[in-house]
Structure 1
Amino acid sequence: MTPPPTTSFPSALVIGAGQAGGPLAGALAKAGWQVTLIEREYVGGTCVNEGCTPTKAMIASGQAAHMARSSQALGVSAGQVNVDLGQIVDRVQGIVRDFRQGSEAGIKKAGVNLIYGQARFSGVREVEITADGGKQTLSADYVFINAGARPRWPELPGLDDVGAMTSKDILLLRELPTHLLILGGGYISLEFAQLYARLGSRVTVIEQAGRLIEREDPDVMAALQEVLEGEGVSFVLGAEALGIEKVGSEIKLRAKQHGQEQTLSGSHLLVATGRVPNTDHLNVGATGAALDQYGFIVVDDHLLAAEQVYALGDIKGGPAFTHISYDDYRIVRDALLHGQQRKVNERLVPYTLFTDPQLGRVGLDRQQAQKLGRSTRVYTLPMSSVARAIETDATAGLMRAVVDDASDQLLGATVLGMEGGEVMSALQLAMMGQLTATTLRNAVLAHPTLSESINNLFVSGPEVLTGRA
């Protein structure tokens, strides 16, 4: 064990250099704390290494290919489109390395002691680190756990024997699949489905639920499914996977749909059936913290898991977004360094699905508003009525806002459309500023921008919801 700190500043162990752990370690070190950051693999966490950064960089390549192929609708002929997946991967991984190295340099510059190795709790605020065959034990006054999550690997006969890929593995694939099978129809699945269809693969998505992403409004997901099907993505919904085998060069996936068995064949298989927390090797119970039934660390509204032990980011459950992980860091930083107490349940939780069109969401959608038990108005505007969308030939999707009938305040927004995440963010700012629907309807917004469509959204006749569905 390390000796107790000799300064008046506390000591800290931060486990995981993700979008909460890295910034928190740096902030505490700059404030004078003695900070050790333990990272198992790469600085930057899921976002930089296998999530937001590489996937959105690859999606840009898919968008370029799609624009080239579809430009004739705008009177432009681009000719034959050729895709070099190896070159795409090289570009993407170059961006990842730059981001990762920049984050690591910032952490070290802040005065953080960065150790690469696998951490495991050996006592209350005491950690054993295994690295390069050796072990050391460290303890501190405070512990912060930001060890993240990883792709879920389902128990399915034959899955381990067919060379199936996770969302991490497929980012390094240098040959374009002839036919990509995707097991799971969630957010990650849909982004990869459209990406590889645009790059030139045949794509089939197999989803156990009867429709895509049941937490979203049905008409929103139906509209997105129609777009993806128009680009060549096939969907097998309400299908339970039974087993997988490799026959020659083909992967065979057996599934039962509506009581009937069928076999789907593909050249590659992506498993996108959710994520699980990285708590199985941490021995979190030694700290006094508890795990829920899914293995996530249980925290209070201030992210405290046990006495002077905090959990941040995906490992604590809840919304698994980079911006939420980063806000977890801010909540803990402000509480410990600035005496400002803020609760996790006081924040809005926006997110964007980076398909094309994008799906931006914040607050309540229509199906959630139906369960409120009080009168609300739901405004819906098709993107085909948005001038900017018409001018750019991007009319798929819709805009939606839920408004409290009594106060005229926005309760939520859904934007499926061109730059849907950006338009949603504008509506989120309106929610944060407590602007009313009437104020937004009458605001003078620049023409012809996408944000100007907010005026027209609130001009349309609303659907009035009362009571519970």
Structure 2
Amino acid sequence: MATTYDLVILGGGPGGFDAAVEAAGAGLKTALVEAAELGGTCLNRGCIPTKLWLGATEPVEALAAQTKARVASGSVGIDFAALQTRKDKYLAATRKAMQQRLTGLGVDLVAGLGRVVGAGSLEVATADGPRTLGYRNLIVATGSRPGSFPGLAPDGAKVLDSTGLLALTEMPKSLLVVGGGFIGLEMAQAAQRMGAKITLVDALNRLAGAEDPEVSKTLESVFKRQGWDLRLGVKVASVTTRGAEAVLTLDSPGGGEELRADCALIAVGRRPNSAGLGLEALGATLSGAGYIQTDAQLQSAPGVYAVGDVNGRMLLAHAASHQAHYVVTRLLGHDSGPYDSGPVPSILYGAPEVFRAGIMAQAQDDNAKAPSSPVLVSRAQLIANPIAQAHAATAGFVKCVWREGKVAGITAVGAGVSRLACFATLIIKLGWTREDAEAFMFPHPTLDESLKAALLADKEAA
């Protein structure tokens, strides 16, 4: 006989894990179904291993900046094999800690691929055969996977996606990167610090196309100075393994130019893991690339909720966790209103970093919708900041977007601007006025002073 749970969760990434912890902690009988590893893409094949790479190689960038300022010299050597070993050990230890926490809370962990077979019933293909779970409520948190296009499919040899690149045993001496979004930029920076020559190609005419155009200009300027070969506004016909090389062919009349490197990274976005879950039989609708449509309560069908990447609202781990918290509080009867994310912070890591929360003066994507009323902007350049000067990393700025006299958005680009994330997001959430900024004591010397300078700078039309 199938066990019936108050809540069954499909997917053990940030959203699924946090939902299980909160639900079980509140007394709900909970089961978590995961087909691969706990932690999902973020822990195992995305955010965390990439940050381990960037953290380990940060001294390379720091020394280069001080060398350029003519106050230091030398070199930093990265032991890639040791870095990969450290990465793997850290990820394994984190997965173990996650499992212990879930077990301690009484969550039933079911390893296998789950599929809805009827209202209130889920079948899991486990190693021991199919297992049926009954549920009163279901959270789908199955995340996403690397995307590709015809001619740009990873082949596992010299053409890799982000998962394949993170699994390398040796860093290539040259790397072709297809895609100028956050994934491509972060991985390219880490690879360059470990000695790879970077060639980046994107069909858009600027890097980080979802961000403020001024951010793109800063990134392009910095990466060109670092020796990147940027091919922007051009289309790729194909990327293939040819012998011991990856060969990229540009799409142009009369035969495209070929670019060659030891390896190629396909970083052209992500696709939701929604196929084959059986949700359509319950009334759920998939749209676009397969994103699960949700209503104002994150519900996709009666008693079925979708959180995180799979619903397409915001492909960020902390967004998944925030949505999961909302669903669990709703199931507990503590929240009956619509889901409200508030300002969502997003960060590109590396050097420079990019931070954004709230609106931009001009919308670049659906997650930063254009303001419905006229806005003003104010800004400050990092070159005037003593901490930026101390680190010899002065490229960049902080920009504030004002609507009806209140801060509605903040964008920053430059070394270390991720430190502003929580403070800046709170400023937006609280709707600070200029007077609020004037009354607040900012510590000195800090990077926060550039945020203060931007808040107090003269406003101008966007």
* TM-score, scaled relative to structure 1: 0.92
Q: What amino acid is aligned across from residue 432 of structure 1 in structure 2?
A: K
Corresponding residue number in structure 2 for 1:420: 417
Match status 1:14 vs 2:9 = yes
Q: What amino acid is aligned across from residue 458 of structure 1 in structure 2?
A: L
Corresponding residue number in structure 1 for 2:427: 430
Partners of 1:161 and 1:44 in 2: CA distance: 23
Q: What amino acid is aligned across from residue 378 of structure 2 in structure 1?
A: Y
Residues 76-115 of structure 1: matches in 2 within 5 Å? 77=72, 79-115=74-110
Corresponding residue number in structure 2 for 1:255: 250
Partners of 1:403 and 1:158 in 2: CA distance: 43
Match status 1:463 vs 2:460 = yes
Cα drift, residue 355 of structure 1:
2.4
Residues 29-68 of structure 1: matches in 2 within 5 Å? 29-68=24-63
Moved more, 366-375 or 214-223: 366-375
Aligned residue among 213, 216, 219 for 2:211: 216
Moved more, 192-201 or 361-370: 361-370
Moved more, 163-172 or 143-152: 163-172
Cα drift, residue 276 of structure 1:
0.6
Match status 1:121 vs 2:120 = no
Residues 335-346 of structure 1: matches in 2 within 5 Å? 335-346=330-341
Cα drift, residue 455 of structure 1:
2.7
Cα gap change, 1:245 to 1:51, in 2 (>3 Å): closer
Cα drift, residue 442 of structure 1:
4.5
Corresponding residue number in structure 1 for 2:380: 381
Cα drift, residue 159 of structure 1:
5.1
Partners of 1:281 and 1:373 in 2: CA distance: 39
Cα gap change, 1:293 to 1:455, in 2 (>3 Å): closer
Cα drift, residue 70 of structure 1:
4.0
Whether contact under 8 Å (2:20, 2:107) holds in the other structure is yes
Corresponding residue number in structure 2 for 1:396: 395
Corresponding residue number in structure 1 for 2:295: 300
Residues 137-152 of structure 1: matches in 2 within 5 Å? 137-152=132-147
Other structure's SS at 1:425 match = helix
Cα drift, residue 136 of structure 1:
1.9
Cα drift, residue 195 of structure 1:
1.2
Partners of 1:136 and 1:372 in 2: CA distance: 49
Cα drift, residue 434 of structure 1:
2.7
Whether contact under 8 Å (1:441, 1:456) holds in the other structure is no
Whether contact under 8 Å (2:24, 2:30) holds in the other structure is yes
Whether contact under 8 Å (2:65, 2:393) holds in the other structure is no
Residues 270-309 of structure 1: matches in 2 within 5 Å? 270-309=265-304
Deviations along 1:332-386, one digit per CA (max 9) or x if unpaired, are: 1211124223433452111111021210000112223995353322001111122
CA RMSD between the two structures: 2.2
Whether contact under 8 Å (1:213, 1:221) holds in the other structure is yes
Q: What amino acid is aligned across from residue 244 of structure 1 in structure 2?
A: V
Q: What amino acid is aligned across from residue 202 of structure 2 in structure 1?
A: E
Whether contact under 8 Å (1:414, 1:424) holds in the other structure is no
- For structure 2, the 5+ residue unaligned runs are none
Partners of 1:357 and 1:258 in 2: CA distance: 36
Corresponding residue number in structure 1 for 2:2: 2
Q: What amino acid is aligned across from residue 395 of structure 2 in structure 1?
A: A
Match status 1:451 vs 2:448 = yes
Cα drift, residue 162 of structure 1:
4.7
Whether contact under 8 Å (2:141, 2:308) holds in the other structure is yes
Whether contact under 8 Å (2:10, 2:16) holds in the other structure is yes
Other structure's SS at 1:399 match = strand
Moved more, 58-67 or 153-162: 153-162
- For structure 1, the 5+ residue unaligned runs are none
Residues 314-393 of structure 1: matches in 2 within 5 Å? 314-368=309-363, 371-372=370-371, 374-393=373-392
Partners of 2:166 and 2:337 in 1: CA distance: 37
Cα gap change, 1:373 to 1:430, in 2 (>3 Å): closer
Partners of 1:255 and 1:71 in 2: CA distance: 37
Other structure's SS at 2:131 match = strand
Partners of 2:402 and 2:252 in 1: CA distance: 39
Match status 1:409 vs 2:419 = no
Cα drift, residue 89 of structure 1:
0.9
Cα drift, residue 188 of structure 1:
0.5
Whether contact under 8 Å (1:441, 1:454) holds in the other structure is no
Moved more, 330-339 or 103-112: 330-339
Other structure's SS at 2:160 match = coil
